[in-house]
Amino acid sequence: MKALAWLLLGFVALATGCGSLTTAGRVDLGKHRRVWVEQRLNDNLGVGRKLAAELNALGYTADVGHLTMMPENTELIVTYDTREEWDFRAYLIELNVSVRPVKDYNIILSTARYFHPGVTKKSSDAMIHELAVKLFPPCHAK
């Protein structure tokens, strides 16, 4: 009976799928105002557009597109990579985001990774919201 209880508990843990959100970098991104989200060609779920919308909701002036479309007054560039799965519909299981200064694209100021495997799918909107709030504080730049 005890073994059955452990087996059931293990199945529930696998079915719910634990998500993890990690960040790295100690730069205060809140002192910046203008953010450009670099559009990925393989963004099938509209993650770039959703990420820019979340940043706008946090008080930043954010837009999405290719680097050639970026306005001159941009301060930060957000790049992202996604890992999608398909199980009768496409869904996001991993989102990696890097924040870079405009002046040197090779420097990474801060990173975040949201990983949510499992049978139950978390909406991409919820994952993007949690990641944006964790990585970017509400904007306090003038």
Domains defined for the chain, CATH in brackets? 18-135 (3.30.160.670)
> What mean pLDDT comes out for the span 90-102?
89
- Interior angle at CA 105, CA 101 and CA 106, nearest 5: 115
Q: Report whether 17 contacts 46 (CB < 8 A).
A: no
Confidence at residue 92, expressed as pLDDT on a 0 to 100 scale: 81
Q: Reply yes or no on whether the pLDDT at 7 is more than 50.
A: no
Confidence at residue 101, expressed as pLDDT on a 0 to 100 scale: 95
Q: How far apart are CA 135 and CA 91, in angstroms?
A: 22
Confidence at residue 4, expressed as pLDDT on a 0 to 100 scale: 46
SS3 at position 3: helix
Q: At what angle do helices 47-57 and 124-135 cross, to 10 degrees?
A: 50
